[in-house]
Copies of this chain bind each other. A is one copy, B any other.
Amino acid sequence: MVKAGIIGATGYAGEELCRILLGHPEAEIAAVSSVSFEGKPISEVYPSLRGIFDGVLTDEDSAIAAGDVVFASLPHGLSEPLAEKCLSAGKKFIDLGADFRLDDPADYTRWYGLEYQKPELHREQVYGLPELYREQIKGAALVGNPGCYPTSVALGLAPALRAGLIDGKTLIIDSKSGVTGAGRGLSQTTHYPDCNEAFSPYKIASHRHTPEIEQALSHLAGEKITVTFVPHLLPVNRGILSTMYASLKRDISAEELCTLYREAYAGEKFVRVLEPGQAANLKHVKYSNYCDISLHPDGRTRRLIVVSAIDNMVKGAAGQAVQNMNLLFHLPEDMGLGLVPPAF
């Protein structure tokens, strides 16, 4: 049994880690920590867990001590010392925050306003998107779990970019996220009467996931890619749907596109490429680790439209983190992740 310590367990990603790990046959939750609720059972914070997991919230060091793997879900800027402690103690560290995703320290500084304190640590980090970086993850100890938006975008565009199908300079990404993406913290924007029956973009062309998206896409395309990325807040609890637009370099049919994507994702359990004529819907992936992708060439404007849908808290956070854990510990990659998306 892999023992897992969860730091920041009372955030939304932390709760989802608990929910998923409780159903994992080869892992167990060894400790959960929280600064705000230390000393209380986690089921007091999340009554859904009552009687199922009443573990008492402890502190970071206890979580590190108890785990073979440590998951951290914290605001940016707090994970470096935790990672260092874990690595020195021979433990694996999976960071669900933003501190180990960006390769270029300048990107981190420009978008997050902080500097890497321990640059050497970042040389060991691996970007934890298994469908794209599986082999590197297997041998790693320090994983930067991808952001929710970048996961939906990189999976949606990877085959097209690798195949040189689209012009990277024309990429526009219009994403819509459920409200859990904003986390458990209170704000006017996520106050029910403000958020319900509302819809609006936010952080227009300035969201911090932008450099992470560009890093992933540039790597796939083999050239520097700059995108326009506009996220919107969607009045649903969960899910991200990204609608992506780019000019096609050549004509291609929906059928050919489908074949290209299916070959690219052959053997990938968690990626479902839809039939021509179908459209991805975040409803169909909710509560699961799946990423649905649909492909729509627009002959009139010679553009490709790709739509991808994930559950922001599963494939976009905790589910992908468990997928990474499975890789790190040489378990079947989908173990504990057989979450069937409910139809409603």
Residues of A near any B CB (own CB < 8 A): 12, 15-16, 18-19, 22-23, 46-53, 170, 172, 174, 176, 178-180, 184, 186-188, 190-202, 204-205, 226-228, 230, 232, 234-239, 241, 243, 245, 269, 272, 274, 278-288, 290, 292, 296, 298, 300-301, 303, 305, 307, 309, 313, 338, 340-344
Contacts and interface: CB of A to CB of B under 8 A. Distances in A.
A162 B10 CA distance: 39
A283 B245 contact: no
Contacts of A184: 191, 193
Given A199-B234, A205-B303, 17 more contacts: A12-B193, A16-B342, A47-B284, A48-B341, A49-B340, A172-B245, A180-B193, A186-B187, A186-B191, A192-B195, A196-B236, A198-B283, A200-B279, A200-B281, A200-B282, A201-B307, A234-B234
B202 A279 contact: yes
Contacts of A47: 278, 281, 284
Contacts of A16: 342-343
Contacts of A274: 50
Contacts of A238: 197, 344
A243 B230 contact: yes
Contacts of A239: 197, 199
A96 to B, nearest CB: 16
Contacts of A51: 269, 272, 290
Contacts of A300: 205, 226, 228
A238 to B, nearest CB: 7
Contacts of A227: 301
Nearest to A341: B48
A270 to B, nearest CB: 9
15 contacts: A22-B340, A46-B343, A48-B285, A48-B340, A48-B342, A49-B340, A172-B303, A176-B176, A180-B344, A184-B193, A186-B186, A192-B192, A197-B238, A197-B286, A228-B298
